[in-house]
Structure 1
Amino acid sequence: MVKIEDIQHYGKEHLETVAAAANTLQGGFQAIASAYGEYAKKSFEDGKAFVEQLAGVKSLDKAIEVQTEYAKSAYETFVAESQKIAGLYGDLAKQSYKPFEGLVAKFNPAAAR
């Protein structure tokens, strides 16, 4: 027979699990937003420096060289930041499901093995 206390305990446990997952999501989204902000700021500063450098160029060859260096640098930065942000999304997904592992194990003993 199921007791009221058991139901209340389960409800409290479930609520705590949901709160923990929400806190994890909040922190994860903050980290992702911060990473996007830092990348946007760096990209803007790099673009500004490129335009300033390009404005001081006296020859076509030097202009092409400056543009090539900027394109290469911008691509490398994009790839690195994309991998960093993808890693943050992966970490967020893993961390957000951790609080629920205990509940799943409780109802599915095969999952605990």
Structure 2
Amino acid sequence: MVKVEDIQQYGKEQFETVVASATTLQNGIQAIASAYGDYTKKSFEDTKSMVEKLSGVKSLDKAIEVQTEFAKSAYETFVAESQKIAGLYTDLAKQTFKPFEGLVSKFTPAASN
């Protein structure tokens, strides 16, 4: 026989799980937004620096060298930041669903060995 207290407890556990997951989601999204902001700021500063260097060159060879260095640096930064942000998304997915593992384990039969 199902007791009212059991139903209330189950509802409370579900609510707490959703709140924990939402809190984790919020924190993860803030971390991702911060990472995007940091990358954007760095990219803008690097571009500004390149334009300053480029405006001071006197020859075409030097201009090509400055542009090539900038392109290489921008690509390396892009790859590194993309990997960092992808890692944040992966962590976010894992951490957001972690609170639900306890609820799922209650309703799934244990694997027999």
1:42 counterpart residue number: 42
In structure 1, C-alpha distance between the alignment counterparts of 2:63 and 2:92, rounded to whole Å: 43
Where do 5+ consecutive residues of structure 2 fail to align?
none
Give the equivalent residue in structure 2 for 1:25: 25
- Whole-Å separation in 2 of the counterparts to 1:110 and 1:21: 24
In the other structure, the counterpart of 2:86 is 86
**How many residues are aligned here?**
112
1:98 maps to 98
2:53 is the alignment partner of 1:53: yes
Bigger proportion of residues as helix: 1
Letter of the structure 1 residue corresponding to residue 17 of structure 2: T
CA distance in 1, matches of 2:97, 2:109: 18
CA distance in structure 2 between the aligned counterparts of 1:11 and 1:73, rounded to whole angstroms? 53
1:15 match: 15
Amino acid in structure 2 at the alignment position of 1:83: Q
Measured after TM superposition, the shift of residue 102 of structure 1 is 0.2
> How many angstroms does 1:110 deviate by?
2.4
**When the two structures are superposed, what TM-score results if normalisation uses the length of structure 2?**
0.97
Deviation at 1:79, TM superposition (A): 0.3
Q: CA RMSD in A?
A: 1.1
Cα displacement (A) at 1:5: 0.3
Q: Distance in 1 between matches of 2:53 and 2:104?
A: 58
